[in-house]
A and B are shown apart, each in its own frame.
Chain A
Amino acid sequence: MDEMGLTFRKGDLLAIGGVLLCAVLVAAGLWVRARGVDNVTAQIYRDGELVREVPLDRDTTFDIKGDYTNTVTVKDGAIAITRSDCPGSDCVHSGWVSGAGRAIVCLPNRVEIRLTGAGEVDAVIR
């Protein structure tokens, strides 16, 4: 009955390895890009428009209002959405983020927080 391929084959390990390799390559790419970038700034976009920019070296808390309200907190060089009334609250569960090139997304509120280094990183991405 296994002409249908219902039992584990050795080739499956190749498929698993391939997927994991992709994950590592993307992670490595992100790491290389973020390396050596300081003065990280958080750019907050809503509906694709830049609504606010905050440097991560100053602690602060503020709200982003849209269809829902996200409370953003900057503390000790990292940023997080610490409260949100959106369904699921995935953005809150994303936790604290600090490296350039990283992002926090709240899809229900169509909010994206992008972390960029001063100038240079943006040029690489665009």
Chain B
Amino acid sequence: MKRTKTKQVALCALLIALALGLSYVERFIPLQLVVPLPGVKLGLANIVTLMALYFLGPRTAFTVLVLRCFLGSLFGGGISGLAFSLTGGLLAMCSMALLRRVPFLSVYGVSVCGAAAHNLGQILAAMVLLGSAYVAAYLPLLLTVAVGTGLVTGAACAGSFRALKAAGVQGL
């Protein structure tokens, strides 16, 4: 019993570190030059949320997400960054946790919906922060981009799982 708990904590720490690392790397990928909108990014950290959700279950995924957001805001991003990453992240997390149960969706469809929910959450946060509905004008393009980024993160998640399995990692 004790051993599984230790393993769980270690896995969480590993995933949080991975998510933070990926958010950092992401800053060097200039997706915003292609789609010039605030908040457009690949959402690489979402790979980790997705992996945690699929392999460790919603509760662990939730822990990883919240801790990642708080630590991320410490490393740069600040309070408003925290509001954005939390609303986006939680909405994405909740929708992915539900959609994972849908039998005709694979990790790809779940990931695309998660990316869309993330953008929706960020727009909602921006609406509250700015007290205005005008930000919704960004939504069509953001959702379109979410399809692409969602497919990329979905593929990364599926690929990582296969690689881990091939490497003989136990307990996934």
Q: Which A residues form the contact surface with B (CB < 8 A)?
A: 1, 4-16, 18-20, 22-24, 26-27, 30, 45, 48, 88, 90-91, 93-95, 101-103, 105, 107, 110, 112, 114, 125
Instruction: State whether B130 touches A20 (Cβ < 8 A).
Output: no
A selection of 18 A-B contacts at a CB cut-off of 8 Å is: A4-B54, A6-B107, A9-B104, A9-B109, A11-B109, A15-B109, A16-B112, A18-B113, A19-B112, A20-B144, A20-B147, A23-B139, A23-B144, A30-B137, A45-B132, A101-B134, A103-B137, A105-B130
| B136 contacts partner chain A, Cβ-Cβ < 8 Å | yes
Instruction: State whether B106 touches A6 (Cβ < 8 A).
Output: yes
**Interface-located stretch among B1-9, B14-22, B29-37, B64-72:** B29-37
| A105 touching B135 in the complex, CB below 8 Å, given contacts A20-B143, A26-B140, A90-B37 | yes
Residue on A nearest B78 in the bound complex, by CB: A108
What is the bound-complex CA distance between A45 and B130, given in angstroms?
9
Chain B binding surface, main DSSP class: helix
User: Of the candidates B37, B113, B138, which one forms a contact with A19 in the assembled complex, judged by CB atoms under 8 Å apart?
Assistant: B113
CB distance from A90 to the nearest CB of B (A): 4
Instruction: State whether B116 touches A22 (Cβ < 8 A).
Output: yes
| B162 contacts partner chain A, Cβ-Cβ < 8 Å | yes
| Neighbouring A residues of B150 by C-beta, 8 Å | 19
